[in-house]
Amino acid sequence: MARDNSRPVRRRTLTRDKVIDAALAAVDEAGWEQLTMSTLSSRLGIVAASLYNHVRGLDDVRAAVQARAMTDLGIHLREVAMGRSGKDGYVR
């Protein structure tokens, strides 16, 4: 059976990381309280139901945003304190 090449092949390019990246950007722009599945899906250009292929729900998104923010903060603090000791090892 021959494949119909007239239709474009849809490829899934959205990932959980991309959803969380969009959520971080939304929080940066509009604040924590404005983060909803609806605003997130609009930002990504998809229907809200499609988000559930990548996250369990808003609580999952918020937990991932918090975890990513804490990880990024830890990385930043480690970088600025590298090679310093005592009082100089603390970020001011």
**Domain-wise residue ranges, the chain:** 16-80
Closest CA to 15 of 36, 38, 46: 46
**Residue that wins the pLDDT comparison between 7 and 44:** 44
Residue length of the chain: 92
Burial category of 34 from C-beta neighbours within 10 Å (exposed 0-12, middle 13-18, buried 19 and up): exposed
DSSP 7: S
* Predicted pLDDT at 82: 82
User: Which band of pLDDT confidence, cut at 50, 70 and 90, is reported for residue 81?
Assistant: confident
pLDDT at 3: 58
Closest by Cα among 66, 65, 36 to 51:
36
Work out the average pLDDT over 51-78.
96
| Architecture in CATH of 16-80 | Orthogonal Bundle (1.10)
Q: How many other C-beta atoms lie within 10 A of the C-beta of residue 82?
A: 8
Amino acid identity, position 25 = A
Residue type, 31: G
Q: What average pLDDT does this structure show over 49-74?
A: 97
User: Measured in whole angstroms, how far is the alpha carbon of residue 11 from the centre of its chain?
Assistant: 20
* 18-34 per-position pLDDT tens digit: 999 999 999 999 999 99
